Amino acid sequence: MSERTILDLTREELSDFLREHGAPRFRADQIWHGIYRELASSYDAITTLPKRLRALLQVELPFTVLVPVDVQESRDGRTRKVLFRLHDGETIEAVLMHYEKRHTICVSTQVGCAVGCAFCATGKAGFVRDLTAGEIAAQVLHFARELDERGEHITNVVYMGMGEPFLNYDAVMRSILILNDPAGVGLGARRFTVSTVGIVPGIERFAAEGLQVNLAISLHAADDELRNRLVPMNRRYPIAEIMRACRTYIANTNRRVTFEIALIAGVNDAPDHAVAMAKLLTGLLCHVNLIPLNSVPGIPFRPSPRDRVEEFAEILQAAGITTTVRLGRGIEIQAGCGQLRERSLVQ
Ligand code: SAH
Ligand code: SF4
């Protein structure tokens, strides 16, 4: 268990900590404001704090260590992927994407991933450890500072980087609560999207939270046989169970579920696959994102050709399912989360 950092705490916990240490009540708000509004990256930057309190905080609640070590920018400048080094030398990626008026940050939730989807660079590298809530929040704060310098703000946070959010449930939810706090970053619940491979107990727990946070499911196939091959976790949580859990989420939140489908040439992109998908999703309050696979070195899958992707989209749309095709280069980088880290590991 790594030591607790300031970014792991909710505002209430920070208040409790300060009370226990005899500091006046208003200090919690001052520190919270300093970190999540002024975007201070050290206690020294919060100049209103007395020296003694600063020294205490530095020892008891240090800042989360997150050092940018590599950056990759898309040619159109709309996407910036950063590789961060953590306090123990492990590395993770996060991505900032600009799209129209939106500035979306894609965060990692684990170092590596244990699920091992057949097409995923992160899965290929295996699982190392969970991230803490502070390490997740720190990714967002890094980009918030970059944006702030240009007079811009984060508009959305998507949990679609490395790792499976629902296998690190508590840290993920805690990071959402921290970033949602109106006295700080104050991002509304609807600005967050958690993407899962389909961990059914996680979806059920998420559905019961009573929050308006968005849910995305990485579906990829409408039948268990094919999905078992792409997503080994499907053997444990098959499609029918995932759908049942999604219905609970929809009933509880009245929110649309997003289904992500990475289209792989000759594997899951035939018109028949689209018809089966349409049948599975008809009548569900949902949205489909089609993403041509991002090729990963050492993995033999290739992206679907553009006309296949469009045909797939047309079949879903004809069945009344709202469908978006994501073809932008920026999105390609995002979907390939795990690849910058992979590159750094082989160097
Ligand atoms: N573990 C979670 C969230 C991280 S993966 C999940 O699986 O949903 C984020 C998204 O990237 C998922 O939809 C995943 O299926 C997709 N993805 C992974 N590797 C990809 C690749 N090579 N090309 C396109 N999408 C990919
Ligand atoms: Fe893990 Fe998601 Fe990659 Fe599957 S797609 S291996 S669940 S990160």
pLDDT confidence band for 280 (50 / 70 / 90)? very high
Give the per-residue pLDDT at 340: 55
Residue whose Cα lies nearest atom 24 of ligand 1: it is 293
> Is 342 close to ligand 2, i.e. is its CB under 6 Å away?
no
Give the per-residue pLDDT at 65: 85
**Closest ligand to the CA of 125:** 2
Ordered structural domains, the chain, with CATH: 6-60 (1.10.150.530), 67-346 (3.20.20.70)
Sign of CA dihedral 153, 158, 163, 166: positive
How far, in Å, is the centroid of ligand 2 from the Cα of 123? 5
Q: Given the CA of residue 197, which atom of ligand 2 is nearest to it? A: 7
How far, in Å, is the centroid of ligand 1 from the Cα of 218? 7
Beta strands in the chain (DSSP E): 66-73, 79-86, 91-99, 102-106, 110-112, 127-130, 156-159, 192-196, 214-218, 257-263, 286-292, 323-325
Condensed to tens digits (0 to 9), the pLDDT of residues 19-77 reads: 999 999 899 999 999 999 999 999 999 999 999 999 999 999 999 989 999 998 888 88
> What is the token pair recorded at 300?
């033999």
Give the per-residue pLDDT at 330: 45
Residue whose Cα lies nearest atom 6 of ligand 2: it is 123
> Is 117 close to ligand 2, i.e. is its CB under 6 Å away?
yes
Neighbour tally for 271: CB within 10 Å: 12
Q: Given the CA of residue 120, which atom of ligand 1 is nearest to it? A: 19
Average pLDDT over residues 84-112: 94
pTM confidence score: 0.95
> Is 196 close to ligand 1, i.e. is its CB under 6 Å away?
yes
Q: Given the CA of residue 114, which atom of ligand 2 is nearest to it? A: 1
> Which residues does the annotation mark as catalytic?
93, 337
